[in-house]
Amino acid sequence: MGDKAEIRPMNEKYWDLVSANYEKEITSVFFRDKEGLVRERINAGRKLGASVRAADLGCGVGNFVPLLSETFGHVDACDWSEVGLNQARENCISFENTKFHKINLCNDRLPFDLVDFALCVNVLIMPDLGDRLLAWRAVTNQVKGAGTLLLVVPSHESAQMELYNGLEQCLSDGESCSDSIIATQHAEADSSDLQLGVYSVNGTRTKHYLKQELRMMLASHQFEVLEITRIVYPKDVENPVSDSWDWMVVAKRRLS
């Protein structure tokens, strides 16, 4: 918030750079989900049986893939970044039931069968609406009828609360109203970005979702929402103003 930063476009080169320095660049759900909510929901998939096919759509460096490989009969993991995929392959070298694919969710046909369980963690965050809708279609179409989608996305409500908490802090430090607004506003976002929940995260325009927007998106992609829960990240050095959260959604594809 506040100062103008250089905007980094969210393209293939960006994701290769991020993947090369993943721990530093990404506030990873894998490490920050202290309650293990995502792991718990993946584990719950065990009851679906050993023959089940799963996918990690946008697997990054593959942090969640070993858990999927241990839980499900066959796993397809895909990502746009070859750098991320190379690390993911190394992470999963011992799993013969796991295949990796380089794909752009906004352009490519997914080169593997539909799955019973799809994981998609902080991938549907592209700032461009057209690209995002293509990626939503690719992700949701990859799930079989009655299959499960476990989705994690940044929360718009959380980003707004961070702003209000920052404002409150400035005012209680004795700043004027106008200085407090300037200090806390998202300087690099235009008004349509703000309306659509696109905020800069480390200099990259990133889509954030409202809880109700997720319900609407999932309904329009023929999914029944079973659960929407906050994955809460307590305030820390990186996130000093207030607790923040992502939305974790469990949804079931309707039988058509």
Ligand X SMILES: C[S@@+](CC[C@H](N)C(=O)[O-])C[C@H]1O[C@@H](n2cnc3c(N)ncnc32)[C@H](O)[C@@H]1O
Residues forming the site for ligand X (CB under 6 A): 15, 19, 26, 28-30, 58-60, 63, 79-81, 84, 103-106, 121-123, 126, 135
Please give the Cα distance from 78 to 111 (Å, whole number): 10
Smallest gap, in angstroms, from Cβ of residue 79 to ligand X? 5
For ligand X, which is the closer residue by CB, 130 or 174? 130
* DSSP letter string, 29-84: HHHH-TT-HHHHHHHHGGGG-TT-EEEEET-TT-SSHHHHHHHSSEEEEEES-HHH
For ligand X, which is the closer residue by CB, 152 or 225? 152
For ligand X, which is the closer residue by CB, 16 or 193? 16
135 phi, psi to nearest 5 deg = -65, -40
Smallest gap, in angstroms, from Cβ of residue 138 to ligand X? 8
Smallest gap, in angstroms, from Cβ of residue 163 to ligand X? 22
For ligand X, which is the closer residue by CB, 152 or 167? 152
Smallest gap, in angstroms, from Cβ of residue 36 to ligand X? 14
Smallest gap, in angstroms, from Cβ of residue 103 to ligand X? 6
Please give the Cα distance from 206 to 56 (Å, whole number): 20
For ligand X, which is the closer residue by CB, 106 or 228? 106
Residue nearest to ligand X (CB): 60
Q: Using a CB cutoff of 8 Å and minimum separation of 24, what contacts does 91-94 make?
A: 91/61, 91/62, 91/63, 91/65, 91/66, 92/62, 92/65, 92/66
Single out the residue of 65, 58, 67, 77 nearest to residue 15, CA to CA.
58
